[in-house]
Amino acid sequence: MNKKNLFDNTEIAFQLKSDSELERAYFLFKMISHENLVRIGTAATNFALKAHLPVEGLIRSTVFDHFCGGVNEEDCLPVIDKMYEKGVSSVLDYSVEGQEIESSFEAAVEKTLKIINFAHEKDAMPIAVFKPTGFGPFHLYEKKSAGEPLTSEEAKEWDKVVERYHKVCKLAKEKGVELLIDAEESWMQDAADDLVEEMMRIYNTGIPIVYNTIQLYRWDRLDYLEQLHQRAKKQGFTIGMKIVRGAYMEKERERAKEKGYRSPICESRQATDDVFNKTMTYILENLNDISLFIGTHNEDSSYLAMEIMDNLNISKSDNRVWFGQLYGMSDHISFNLADQGYNVAKYVPFGPVKDVMPYLIRRAEENTSVAGQTNRELNLLKTEKERRGL
């Protein structure tokens, strides 16, 4: 098969979807392609949940089941096993967000430890993940990133954050489970980067276990990576790096404008694509020092990664290179790559229905604003419906 149309194979892309699941996915993407509908639907859902109206069942059987694996880890097992039969691994993602209290941070650590243990026992789950602000308050990361001194109370709080990172990284190292750490807003990210680097220095003494994330809609990230690479070589640790384009573009631009500093975001879509592809190339050329997790739904970048791997004689199943997509999106990339023998993992979000609403709303809005992507999903679903005679 010509590589350039690999992702057009809808039979492989949707092999796990029953006819009714296929119809549901088509209906769902059709709905979220309408911006007004998403806006009204979001407001109505938030209202209904706050008013304790019985809408959980409806959410569950529509958006939730499409974008999430279940309400807890065990619930996700059938999905994980089914995908793994087709060569696609899972990264369980506890997607409860924005709860800035001590008990939530501790709960997120416990979840992550549980997932690492779980992953250690299951080949279908080689990787775990957490979000920096899941383990500590945003304002602390922000203050540290700005170089502002912490009060003694805050310093104690920060020590706890550091302890939480050590706890999960240490277990990941013991169990040999790779651990991805997501990237968030630029004005808190420096503190997270420093902390993740500290973890890499301690726990990435052989094969990388700890992975940071760089958002390549930021024009400064390749420089950051090159400098990190120099430090890693000098200090004798290895790097794990997840690359993404980045999910907070509007927010970043608005804040920069409001506060009057240069936006950290590339000036154009093309500039972001260039940084993404250059950074991906840089890492693939330095795989002995840096392992790579490519988190993207972009077909061109995925094709490019395959081409570079080919040119550099990197085996498709080389365990230093992973492709990743979100559950419920871009199955045409995930399942076709896995079918060719590449390492692929889907982020499988889970959590109580009302707690994962912010995540679900982001997915709906993302699919509305990235109109091209929704159309692509819709066209592929339509092709498969036709192929099956539905």
Ligand X SMILES: Cc1cc2nc3c(=O)[nH]c(=O)nc-3n(C[C@H](O)[C@H](O)[C@H](O)COP(=O)(O)OP(=O)(O)OC[C@H]3O[C@@H](n4cnc5c(N)ncnc54)[C@H](O)[C@@H]3O)c2cc1C
Q: Provide, rounded to whole angstroms, the least separation between the CB of residue 324 and ligand X.
A: 3
DSSP 61: I
Nearer Cβ to ligand X (128/326):
326
Q: Provide, rounded to whole angstroms, the least separation between the CB of residue 213 and ligand X.
A: 4
Q: Which residues contact 149 (CB under 8 A, 6 or more apart)?
A: none
Q: What is the C-alpha to C-alpha distance for residues 335 and 150, in angstroms, rounded to an integer?
A: 47
Helices (H), 100-184: 102-121, 138-145, 152-175
Q: Provide, rounded to whole angstroms, the least separation between the CB of residue 373 and ligand X.
A: 5
Nearer Cβ to ligand X (154/298):
298
Radius of gyration (C-alpha) of the chain in whole angstroms: 20
Two tokens, residue 291 = 């392992």
Nearest residue (beta carbon) to ligand X: 295
Q: Which residues of this chain interact with ligand X, rule CB under 6 A?
A: 182-183, 213, 215, 217, 244-249, 265-266, 268-269, 272, 295-298, 324-326, 347, 370, 373
Q: Provide, rounded to whole angstroms, the least separation between the CB of residue 286 and ligand X.
A: 21
Cα 295 to Cα 146, 193, 280, distances in angstroms:
28, 18, 11
Q: Provide, rounded to whole angstroms, the least separation between the CB of residue 90 and ligand X.
A: 11
Contact call for residues 108 and 94 (beta carbons, < 8 A):
yes
Q: Which of 325, 346, 336 is nearest to 10 (CA)?
A: 336
Q: Helix or strand or coil: residue 265?
A: strand
Q: Provide, rounded to whole angstroms, the least separation between the CB of residue 292 and ligand X.
A: 12
Helix axes 152-175, 138-145, angle to 10 degrees: 100
Nearer Cβ to ligand X (204/334):
334
Q: Which of 320, 321, 328, 282 is nearest to 302 (CA)?
A: 321
Nearer Cβ to ligand X (23/303):
303
Nearer Cβ to ligand X (248/282):
248
Q: Which of 6, 30, 17 is nearest to 377 (CA)?
A: 30
Nearer Cβ to ligand X (109/129):
129
- The region that residue 72 occupies, defined by phi over 0 for left and psi between -120 and 50 for alpha, beta otherwise, is beta
Nearer Cβ to ligand X (244/357):
244
Residue with tokens 């339509």: 382
Q: Provide, rounded to whole angstroms, the least separation between the CB of residue 234 and ligand X.
A: 27
Q: What is the C-alpha to C-alpha distance for residues 339 and 237, in angstroms, rounded to an integer?
A: 33
Q: Provide, rounded to whole angstroms, the least separation between the CB of residue 230 and ligand X.
A: 24
Helix axes 35-50, 357-369, angle to 10 degrees: 170
Nearer Cβ to ligand X (19/196):
196
